[in-house]
Amino acid sequence: MKILNTVLVGLGRIGWKYHLPEILKHKGFKLSSIVEPLKERRDEAFKLYGVKCFKDCVSLFSSGERPDLMVIASPTPFHMRQSLEAFKNGCDVFCDKPMALSYAEAAKIFQGMKKYKKKFMLYQPHRGTEEFLSLKHVLSLDLIGQIYMIKRISSGYNIRNDWQSLKKYGGGMLNNYGAHYMDQLLRLRPSNVTKVFCILRNVISAGDAEDLVKVLMETEEGLMLELEVNMASAHIMPPWQINGEYGSIILDREKKSWHVRYANKKDLCGIKLQKGVAALNREYSNGKDIKWNEKEFEISGFDKIDFYSKVYEHFALNMKPFVPIEETMELMRVFDLCRKSASKGKCISHVEIIKKTTQGVSK
Ligand SMILES: NC(=O)c1ccc[n+]([C@@H]2O[C@H](COP(=O)([O-])OP(=O)(O)OC[C@H]3O[C@@H](n4cnc5c(N)ncnc54)[C@H](O)[C@@H]3O)[C@@H](O)[C@H]2O)c1
C-alpha cells in the first residue's frame, strides 16, 4: 500500500479535532510533520505523537522535509502562500475551505498547481453528508418536474468573536458557512451563474465581518438559487426548499426526512385560459382540484462519505478528485460576484462582465 507522508498545517479547531485524527486513523497516511506557530500546540503534538514540528512552512522545507501531501488547516489568509510553497517543494495539497481570500488568489493556486504539476483538492464535507446525498437521490427521481428554485438556509444565533468575525482575516459568513452551502447549491443542478444579487450585513457579531448573508442568483438555465446564512436568528429556519413546476420538496428536520408533495402532470392539463375580464362564476380557483401525492424519504441509509478515503484515492491512487478544482474555482468566482454585488448594492450580471472583458481583450 502506498503511504502518503503528510504534513498537517494548523492545529486549531478543524486541524486538531478533525484532520489530525483522520490522518492517524487511515492506514494510507503517515503524519510525518506538523506546522503550527504556537509553541504550546507544537509541544502538545510532539508529546502525544512524537512528530516533527515546525513553526512555519519555510522552516519545514528548509529542514529538508519533503512530504507527499500538505493538509492545510491554517486560517484562510495563509492558504494561497502555503499551497504555493507546497507545490514548489513537490508536495500536493489538501486544503480546508475556503480555497483562498479571493478569485485572484485562487487563480494563483490554480496556476501554481499547473506549473509544478501537482494536485490540489478542497475539503468540502457537506458534499458527502447523508442529508445532501439523500437529497440528490430524491431529485434523481424527478417527481416535481422542472426545478425553478432552490433555497438553502443556514441559521442559528452565534455572536462570533474569533478571527472569523474579522474582515482583515477573511472572516465573515460568506467565506465561512457560505463556502459549504453555496457549494451545495452550485452542485445540485450545475449551470453557469449569470446574475448575482447579494447583501452582506453585520448584525450581532463582535467583529466587523458579515454574520448575515443573503444571495439571490440566476443560472444560464433560468434556475433561481437562494442562499441565506444567518447567525442572528433565534429560530432554526427550514434549511431547504426546492420548487418544481409540479411540486416541492422540503426537509423535515424533526423526522429527518425529505417531504415531497407533487401532482401528476396529466392531472394539471386542460386548464383553459379565460378570455374575458369577468372571472367565470366569480371564482378565484381555476376549477381544478389538485390531487397531491405525498412522499417521505428518510435521510438515513445514505452512508456519509469518508472524506479521507477520497483524499487517498485522489492523491495516492490518482483517481478523479471528489472535489475537482474547476468546481472550486467556480465557487470562488461566484463569491467574487457576491462581494462585488454587496459592495455596489446592485445586481451583477456575469454576462455583462464577460462582454466587458472580451471587449477589453479585443481592443
Ligand atoms: N471544513 C470545515 O468544516 C471547517 C470547519 C472549521 C474551519 N474550517 C477552515 O479551516 C481553517 C482553520 O479554521 P479553524 O477554525 O480551525 O481556526 P482556529 O483558529 O481554530 O485554528 C487555526 C490554527 O492555525 C494556526 N495558525 C495561525 N497562523 C498560522 C500559519 N501561518 N500557519 C500555520 N498555522 C497557523 C493557529 O495557531 C491555530 O492553531 C479556516 O480556513 C476555516 O475556514 C473548515
What's the length of the chain?
A: 363
| Residue 96 alpha carbon to ligand 1 centre in Å | 8
Instruction: Give the H or E element holding residue 10.
Output: none
Q: What is the tens place of the pLDDT at every residue in 224-271? A: 999 999 999 999 999 999 999 999 999 999 999 999 999 999 888 888
Mean pLDDT to the nearest integer, 342-347: 96
Which pLDDT does position 358 carry in this prediction? 46
Which pLDDT does position 355 carry in this prediction? 52
Which pLDDT does position 351 carry in this prediction? 64
Mean pLDDT to the nearest integer, 146-163: 97
Is the pLDDT at 6 greater than 80, yes or no? yes
Is the pLDDT at 352 greater than 90, yes or no? no
Task: Identify which of 136, 143, 122, 184 has the alpha carbon closest to the alpha carbon of residue 302.
Answer: 136
| Residue 264 alpha carbon to ligand 1 centre in Å | 49
| Residue 163 alpha carbon to ligand 1 centre in Å | 9
123 Cα nearest atom in ligand 1: 1
Q: Does 74 contact ligand 1 (Cβ within 6 A)?
A: yes
| Residue 138 alpha carbon to ligand 1 centre in Å | 35
Pocket-testing residue among 38, 74, 180, ligand 1, by greatest number of atoms within 8 A of Cβ: 74
Contact of 23 with 31, CB cutoff 8 Å? yes
| Residue 310 alpha carbon to ligand 1 centre in Å | 21
Q: Does 12 contact ligand 1 (Cβ within 6 A)?
A: yes
Task: Identify which of 169, 181, 156 has the alpha carbon closest to the alpha carbon of residue 334.
Answer: 181
Which pLDDT does position 363 carry in this prediction? 30
Q: What is the tens place of the pLDDT at every residue in 15-71? A: 999 999 999 999 999 999 999 999 999 999 999 999 999 999 999 999 999 999 999
What does R_g of the chain's alpha carbons equal in angstroms?
A: 24
Considering the segment(s) 127-298 as one domain, its CATH architecture is 2-Layer Sandwich (3.30)
Q: Ligand 1: which residue has its CA nearest to atom 40?
A: 75
Which pLDDT does position 267 carry in this prediction? 87
Lowest pLDDT segment from 74-83, 235-244, 346-355: 346-355
Q: What is the tens place of the pLDDT at every residue in 267-315? A: 888 888 999 999 999 998 887 789 999 999 999 988 889 999 999 999 9
CATH fold of 4-123+306-322 reads: Rossmann fold (3.40.50)
3-state helix, strand, coil in the chain (%, to 5): 40, 25, 40
Mean pLDDT to the nearest integer, 334-356: 85
Which residue ranges make up each domain of the chain?
Answer: 4-123+306-322, 127-298
Q: What is the tens place of the pLDDT at every residue in 156-215? A: 999 999 999 999 999 999 999 999 999 999 999 999 999 999 999 999 999 999 999 999
Q: What is the tens place of the pLDDT at every residue in 81-105? A: 999 999 999 999 999 999 999 999 9
